[in-house]
A and B are shown apart, each in its own frame.
Chain A
Amino acid sequence: GQNIDQPTEMTATEGAIVQINCTYQTSGFNGLFWYQQHAGEAPTFLSYNVLDGLEEKGRFSSFLSRSKGYSYLLLKELQMKDSASYLCAVRDRVKAAGNKLTFGGGTRVLVKP
């Protein structure tokens, strides 16, 4: 099975940087995803890590350490529109081809002026 932990809520100021941590304990691991979800909307894909290290995509970066069961999502130059929930999800090893994901509870980020 999978156990994924992330903080429930974080608050930051517009223009600042926020780091959202995610720790996982899994029986198998085949990649970690980060999704953004605005209130009342569907999740949208932000990043994917399968190897250790940092993946950068504009204002968003994601880091993975497989030996520590740890990832973080870094949001730089925060904008008001970044106020949303951020979901960490681990892809399990499955026998058949597929993309079976287990999600953490999500971190709600509130950006203040």
Chain B
Amino acid sequence: NAGVTQTPKFQVLKTGQSMTLQCAQDMNHEYMSWYRQDPGMGLRLIHYSVGAGITDQGEVPNGYNVSRSTTEDFPLRLLSAAPSQTSVYFCASTPSGQAYEQYFGPGTRLTVT
């Protein structure tokens, strides 16, 4: 198993550009989520999905869209990039259930100038 994969690893955008961060998992996990991590802020939940076709907002959803058309993929779209979205983005997945930990992808380091 490849686990959770994310592309790209690094990205530089200009203000106003749009792009999609890709996330895929091959473990047949129902639950997937996107976090951003800023210095000193820990991880903050952007959007999550409890299964294909079902998504919901997390703590900081503004400026981001998600969709979940398959169990494997959970892309995160930045609609119009802003410098405040400069961050490290982590995708995570887990089987549904109480005692399962989240498996994190390697992260995407995004800079918006």
Chain A contact residues, CB within 8 Å of chain B = 4, 8, 30-31, 33, 35, 41-45, 48, 50, 87, 89, 91, 96-106
State which of A8, A31, A41, A44 has its C-beta within 8 Å of the C-beta of B98.
A31
Q: Is the interface of A mostly helix, strand, loop or mixed?
A: loop
Residues in chain B near residue A87, CB distance under 8 A = 42-43
Chain B contact residues, CB within 8 Å of chain A = 30-31, 33, 35, 40-45, 48, 50, 54, 58-59, 90, 94, 96-107
In the complex, the answer to whether B98 meets A30 with C-beta atoms within 8 Å is: yes
Q: Which residue of B lies closest to A87 (CB)?
A: B42
Residue contacts A-B, CB under 8 angstroms, 21 given? A35-B101, A42-B104, A42-B105, A43-B43, A43-B90, A44-B104, A48-B101, A87-B42, A87-B43, A91-B98, A96-B50, A97-B31, A97-B96, A98-B31, A99-B97, A99-B100, A100-B33, A100-B48, A101-B45, A103-B44, A104-B42
Total number of A-B contacts with CB less than 8 angstroms? Answer: 67
